Structure 1
Amino acid sequence: MAYYLVKWKGWPDSTNTWEPLQNLKCSRLLQQFSDDRRSYFSQVKRDKRLTLKRSETVQMPTLANYIVRKAKQRLALQRWQDELNRRRNHKGKIFVENTVDLEGPPTDFYYINEYKPAPGISLVNEVTFGCSCTNCFFEKCCPAEAGVLGAYNKKHQIRIPPGTPIYECNSRCQCGPECPNRIVQKGTPYSLCIFRTSNGCGWGVKTLVKIKRMSFVMEYVGEVITSEEAERRGQLYDNRGITYLFDLDYESDEFTVDAARYGNVSHFVNHSCDPNLQVFNVFIENLDTRLPRIALFSTRTINAGEELTFDYQMKGSGDISSDSIDQSPAMKRMRTVCRCGAVTCRGYLN
Structure 2
Amino acid sequence: MSWDEVETLCRLEELRCKDLGVSRANVHEYEVEFICDYKRTKEEEFYLVKWRGFTEAENTWEPKSNLKCRKLMKQFHLDLEKELRRHKRHCVPRRLDKEISSLLAKKAKLRQSLQRWQAHLNHTSNHPGRIYVVNDVDLEGPPRNFTYINNYKAGPGIVLDEMAVGCECTNCIEDPVDGCCPGASLHRIAYNEKQRLRVRAGEPIYECNSRCRCGPDCPNRVVQKGIQFDLCIFKTDNGRGWGVRTLQHINKNTFVMEYIGEIITNEEAEKRGREYDSQGSTYLFDLDYVEDVYTVDAAHYGNISHFVNHSCNPNLQVFNVFIDNIDERLPRIALFSTRAICAGEELTFDYKMQIDPVDLESSRLDSSITLTDLPISKSSPKKRLRVECRCGSDSCRKYLF
- Structure 1 length normalisation: TM-score? 0.89
Q: Secondary structure at the match of 2:191?
A: coil
Alpha-carbon offset, residue 275 of structure 1: 0.3
Matching residue of 1:48:
none
Whether the 8 Å contact between 2:233 and 2:243 is mirrored in structure 1 is yes
> Which of 204, 207, 221 is the aligned partner of 1:165?
204
Q: Which runs of 5+ in 1 are unaligned?
A: 46-59
Deviates more, 1:285-294 or 1:116-125: 116-125
Pair 1:5 & 2:48 matched: yes
Rounded Cα–Cα distance in structure 2 between residues aligned with 1:122 and 1:21: 61
Q: Does structure 1 residue 248 correspond to structure 2 residue 287? A: yes
Amino acid at match of 2:78: D
For residues 279 and 187 of structure 2, the distance between their equivalents in structure 1, rounded to whole angstroms, comes to 41
Deviation, structure 1 residue 325:
5.8
1:61 deviation in Å?
A: 8.0
Change (3 A) 1:177 1:347: same
Give the secondary structure class of the aligned counterpart of 2:109: helix
Aligned residues: 332
Alignment correspondent of 1:199: 238
Spell out, residue by residue over 1:281-339, the C-alpha distance to the aligned partner (whole angstroms, 9 max, x if none): 0001111111100000000000000000001112688869xx9869x955713332211
Q: Between 182-191 and 32-41, report the one with greater CA deviation.
A: 32-41
Kept in 2, the 8 Å contact 1:196–1:203? The answer is yes
Secondary structure of the residue that 2:270 maps to in structure 1? helix
2:69 alignment partner in structure 1:
26
Q: Are 1:276 and 2:319 counterparts?
A: no
Deviation at 1:94, TM superposition (A): 0.7
Q: RCO (CA 8 Å, sep 6+): is it higher in 1 or 2?
A: 1
**Whole-Å separation in 2 of the counterparts to 1:244 and 1:97:** 22
Structure 1 match to 2:392: 341
Computed over aligned residues only, the root mean square deviation of the Cα atoms, in angstroms, reads 2.3
Provide the residue aligned with 2:172 in structure 1. 136
Q: Which residue of 1 aligns with 2:106?
A: 69
1:211 pairs with one of 244, 250, 262: 250
Task: Give 2:144's aligned residue.
Answer: 107
1:349 Cα deviation (Å)?
Answer: 2.4
Q: Which residue of 2 aligns with 1:81?
A: 118
What is the rounded CA distance, in whole Å, between the counterparts of 2:124 and 2:50 in structure 1? 32
Separation of aligned partners in 2, 1:11 and 1:280: 50
Cα distance in 2 for residues equivalent to 1:348 and 1:238: 17
Aligned to 1:117: 154
Provide closer, same or farther for how the CA distance between residues 168 and 287 of structure 1 changes in structure 2, counting only shifts above 3 A.
Answer: same
Match 1:90 to one of 127, 133, 142: 127
| SS state at 2:292 partner | coil
| Distance across 2 between alignment mates of 1:315 and 1:285 | 27
> If the length of structure 2 is used for normalisation, what is the TM-score?
0.78
Aligned residue in 2 for 1:15: 58
**Shift of residue 108, structure 1, vs aligned partner:** 1.1
Helix, strand or coil: the match of 1:257? strand
Tell me which of 258, 264, 271 is aligned to 1:232. Answer: 271
Which of 170, 188, 191 in structure 2 is aligned with 1:152? 191
Q: Deviation at 1:111?
A: 0.3
Q: Which structure has the bigger radius of gyration?
A: 2
**Aligned AA (1:336):** V
Instruction: Verify the 8 A CA contact 1:7 1:13 in the aligned structure 2.
Output: yes
Secondary structure of the equivalent of 1:219? strand
The alpha-carbon deviation at position 101 of structure 1 amounts to 1.0
Q: Which residue identity does 1:341 align to in structure 2? A: G
- Please state how far the C-alpha of 1:15 moved relative to its aligned partner: 3.3
Give per-residue Cα distances to partners, 1:1-41, cap 9 Å, x unaligned: 24321223333334322233333332111101101112323
> For 1:108 and 1:156, how far apart are their aligned partners in 2?
36
Q: 1:349 to 1:330 in 2, by over 3 A?
A: farther
* Aligned mates of 2:333, 2:219 — CA distance in 1: 19
TM-superposed deviation, 1:65: 1.1
**SS of the counterpart of 1:131?**
coil
1:229-250 per-position Cα deviation (integer Å, ceiling 9, x unaligned):
2222223323333231111010
- The separation in 2 between residues aligned to 1:192 and 1:330, in whole angstroms, is 34
**2:79 matched residue in structure 1:** 36
Rounded to whole Å, the distance in 1 between the matches of 2:242 and 2:333 is: 21
Q: Quick one: structure 1 residues 348 and 230, their matched pair in 2 at CA, closer, same or farther if it must change by over 3 Å? A: farther
Please tell me whether the aligned partners of residues 147 and 300 of structure 2 are also in contact (alpha carbons under 8 angstroms): yes
Residues 42 and 257 of structure 1: is their aligned pair in 2 closer, same or farther, counting only changes over 3 Å? Answer: farther
1:305 is aligned to: 344
Aligned residues of 2:266 and 2:294 also touching (Cα < 8 A): yes
- Among the aligned pairs, what percent are the same residue? 58
Shift of 1:121: 1.1
Range that drifts further, 259-268 or 93-102: 93-102
Amino acid at match of 1:41: L
Amino acid at match of 1:34: H
Kept in 1, the 8 Å contact 2:289–2:367? The answer is: no
Q: Distance in 1 between matches of 2:379 and 2:128?
A: 33
Aligned mates of 1:134, 1:280 — CA distance in 2: 26
Work out the CA distance in 2 between the residues paired with 1:186 and 1:6.
44
Q: State the AA in 2 paired with 1:15.
A: E
State how far apart, in whole Å, the 1-side matches of 2:135 and 2:122 are.
Answer: 17
Take 1:35 and 1:107, find their aligned partners in 2: how far apart are those partners?
Answer: 28
Distance 1:152 1:290 in 2: 23
Deviation (angstroms), 1:42? 4.2
